[in-house]
Each structure stands twice: as C-alpha cells, then as structure tokens.
Amino acid sequence: MDKEQETIIKNNENSSQEVGSTKEAEVDNQVDQDSTSVQKEITPEETIKELEDKLARTFAEMENQRRRFEKEKEEAFEYGGYSFAKEALNLIDNLERSKQVLENDEDLKNSNALKKTLEHLEIISKDLISIFAKNNIKPIDCLNKKLDPNFHQAMIEIEDDQKEPGTIIQEIQKGFTIKDRLLRPSLVGVSKKPANKEEKDQQIKENSENK
C-alpha cells in the first residue's frame, strides 16, 4: 500500500468520525429541544396549582410542628416534676422501714416511748401523703383487688383458700400515680390455691372428663 492510499483511508476514517459526532450532536440538540418544549407546555394555571399544593403542604407541616410543640409544652408542665416526685417517694419508704425496725426492737416493745414514736412517724407519713395528693400524686389502692399489671407487680404468691387466685392480699411496697400516669407500681403478694386443693380440683376435673 503506497502513501497515497494510506492518506485516502485516513481521510475516510476522519470523515466517518466527523459524521458520527455531528449525528450525536444533532440527537443531543433534539433532546434538549424536546425537554424545552415539554417545559414550555406547562400552563400558568398548572404552575399556580403546583405552587398552591406546595404552600398547602408547607402549612400542614407547620401546623403539625405547632401541635407537637404544644403537646411537649403541656407534658412538660403537667409532668415536669415526675423525676422529683419518684425520688420523693423514698421518704415514705424510709418512714415505713423505720416503723418496722422500731416495732421489731425487743427492748422497745410495749414501751410508751415506742408508742409515741410510732404515732409521730404515722403523722409525718400521713402529712407527706396529703402533700403528694395536693400535687396529684396519689397512692394506689390495691388490697383485695385483682392483680392489674398496669398498676401492680406481683412479688410472691401466698396460699389462701378464702380468696380467688390472683387477688392481692399483701402490700409489700405502696405504689403511686401522678395524674393519669403510673409513678411506680405497687409491689404485692397475691393469693393462690393451696397445693392440696389444687390436687383435689385436678382430680375432680379428671373424673368428670372420664365419665
């Protein structure tokens, strides 16, 4: 192949590349023109509607934020003293423990000093509960009621054939609520059927099934 032929081939290749580039450029220009024409097809009414939708969504989000802020502010006002109130319950617990220690002291039993001391501790305990009640912190009444996991926590089971199983017959630690919220659950002991009674009931059940 002589130099003249090589030159002709190279010129043809360059011409093909230029034609390809020109076609790609034409395609890109056509796409840009189509996109521009699509954008131009949006009418003023459609633009206004789109803006109205965006504005409505913005107002809705602002309203939701306002409601969340109001709810958080209300809860902070209503339950702002929750942690303090929960800690303050230790005062009542300590008074109850002190009473039990004094009552179990053999040297103080049946003494006037013990009687007077217990009376004063009882007065202080009632005053504390009264102060709590004025601030919507109230003790949970649980004795002789059915166990409610929302307010009570069972610590022990006690055999009792006089009470329906699951009935609270002992209060180990007093529970409290603050407004409509649980401050701490009551720690309780609940009744259960005596073992021999359970066996009898099981035998009666089995005999009735076999008949």
Domains of the chain: 138-211 (2.30.22.10)
Tell which wins on pLDDT, 12 or 66.
66
**pLDDT tens track for 148-173:** 999 999 999 988 888 888 899 999 98
Q: Judging by DSSP bridges, how do beta strands 168-173 and 176-178 pair with one another?
A: unpaired
Taking the C-alpha atoms of residue 202 and residue 124, their distance in angstroms, rounded to an integer, is 50
Please return the burial class of 29, using the count of CB atoms within 10 Å of its CB with bins 0-12, 13-18 and 19+. Answer: exposed
Q: pTM of whole model > 0.95?
A: no
User: Measured between alpha carbons, how far is residue 53 from residues 20, 46, 66, 171 in Å?
Assistant: 45, 11, 20, 60
* Residue whose tokens read 């504005």: 55
Strand locations in 78-161, DSSP E? 137-139, 152-159
- For the segment 182-186, the average pLDDT, to the nearest whole number, is 91
**What pLDDT, on the 0 to 100 scale, is given for residue 19?**
46
- Structure confidence at residue 203 as a pLDDT band (50, 70, 90): low
